[in-house]
C-alpha cells in the first residue's frame, strides 16, 4: 500500500488530494513540523531532505510534489487525472505544476523560510516584506494566462487543480486578497466543494 507522509498546511496537501481522487488504497501519516518530526532519524531515513511530502511506494520513495502528482496520474490512469495520451497536453500539466513548485512556492517560502537564503536579519525581513507583492504577481499571471477555467486545464480536472488549490489557500496568510483574482477564487470554491477535498481536509484537521 502507498504511504504518504504529510504535514497540515503544507504543499503535501496536493499529493494527499490526488491520492484521494485516484481511488487507490493508501495510508496518510502526519508529520508534526512544530515538533521537528521531519528532522528525526526515523523520518530522515525515509526522506533525507527532511521535508514533506514523501510517498513510499513498492519501488522506493518519491519526493517533490510535481513528481508525486505525475506518478499518481500515470499509475492510476482510470482516475483520469491527466491527459496521459497527449504528450503536449501532459507537458502543459507538468509546466504548470513546475511553475507552482519552482516559483510560487518559493515566493511564499520567503515569508517564513528566509534563513534558507540569508543569515542577515535585515535581508530576511526584506524578503518577508516582499512576499505579498511577489505572490500577487504570481497569481496575477495564473489568473490572466494560465487558469483556463473552470479547472486549470479547462473542462477536465487534472493534477494541476489540487496543487493550485493548495497554494491558493496560502494567499490570506501571505497578505493577498484572493478577491483580486476572480478565476482563482472560483476555482478554490469549486475545489472546496469536491467530496474528496472535504474528506482529506477533515482527516488533516482531525486530532492526531
Q: What is the pLDDT of residue 24?
A: 98
User: Which are the contacts of 49, defined by CB distance < 8 A and separation ≥ 6?
Assistant: 63
pLDDT range class, residue 17, cuts 50, 70, 90: very high
Residue indicated by cell numbers 515538533: 35
Instruction: Provide the 3-class DSSP secondary structure of residue 88.
Output: helix
Mean pLDDT along residues 123-130: 95
Residues 54, 66: contact at Cβ < 8 Å? no
Q: What would the pLDDT profile of 35-71 be if each residue is shown by its tens digit? A: 999 999 999 999 999 999 999 999 999 999 999 999 9
Instruction: Provide the 3-class DSSP secondary structure of residue 140.
Output: helix
Q: Where are the domains of the chain?
A: 2-79+196-205, 87-194
Residue 99: pLDDT over 90: yes
Query: Beta strand 2-6 with 54-57: parallel, antiparallel or unpaired?
Result: antiparallel
Residues 130, 165: contact at Cβ < 8 Å? no
Residues 93, 83: contact at Cβ < 8 Å? yes
C-alpha cell at 65: 510534489
Q: How far apart are CA 147 and CA 172, in angstroms?
A: 19
Q: Which CATH number does 2-79+196-205 carry?
A: 3.40.30.10
Q: Which CATH number does 87-194 carry?
A: 1.20.1050.10
User: Which are the contacts of 155, defined by CB distance < 8 A and separation ≥ 6?
Assistant: none
Q: How far apart are CA 32 and CA 208, in angstroms?
A: 9
Q: In Å, what is the CA distance from 177 to each residue of 66, 88, 138?
A: 26, 33, 13
Residue 162: pLDDT over 90: yes
Residue 208: pLDDT over 80: no
Q: What is the pLDDT of residue 207?
A: 85
> For residue 62, what is the DSSP state?
E
Amino acid at each position: 500500500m502507498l504511504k504518504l507522509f504529510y504535514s497540515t498546511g503544507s504543499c503535501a496537501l496536493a499529493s494527499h488530494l490526488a491520492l484521494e481522487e485516484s481511488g487507490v488504497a493508501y495510508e496518510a501519516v502526519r508529520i508534526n513540523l512544530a515538533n521537528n518530526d521531519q528532522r528525526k532519524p526515523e523520518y530522515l531515513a525515509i526522506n533525507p531532505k527532511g521535508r514533506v511530502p514523501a510517498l513510499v511506494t513498492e519501488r522506493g520513495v518519491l519526493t517533490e510534489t510535481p513528481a508525486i502528482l505525475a506518478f499518481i496520474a500515470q499509475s492510476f490512469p482510470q482516475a483520469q487525472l491527466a491527459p496521459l495520451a497527449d504528450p503536449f497536453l501532459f507537458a502543459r500539466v507538468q509546466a504548470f505544476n513546475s511553475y507552482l513548485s519552482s516559483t510560487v512556492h518559493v515566493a511564499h517560502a520567503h515569508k517564513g523560510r528566509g534563513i534558507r537564503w540569508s543569515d542577515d536579519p535585515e535581508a530576511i525581513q526584506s524578503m518577508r516584506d516582499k512576499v505579498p507583492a511577489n505572490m500577487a504577481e504570481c497569481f496575477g499571471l495564473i489568473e490572466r494566462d494560465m487558469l483556463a477555467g473552470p479547472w486549470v486545464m479547462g473542462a477536465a480536472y487534472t493534477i494541476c487543480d489540487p496543487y493550485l488549490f493548495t497554494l491558493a489557500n496560502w494567499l490570506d496568510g501571505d497578505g493577498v486578497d484572493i478577491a483580486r483574482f476572480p478565476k482563482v477564487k472560483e476555482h478554490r470554491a469549486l475545489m472546496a466543494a469536491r467530496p474528496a477535498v472535504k474528506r482529506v481536509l477533515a482527516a488533516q484537521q482531525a486530532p492526531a
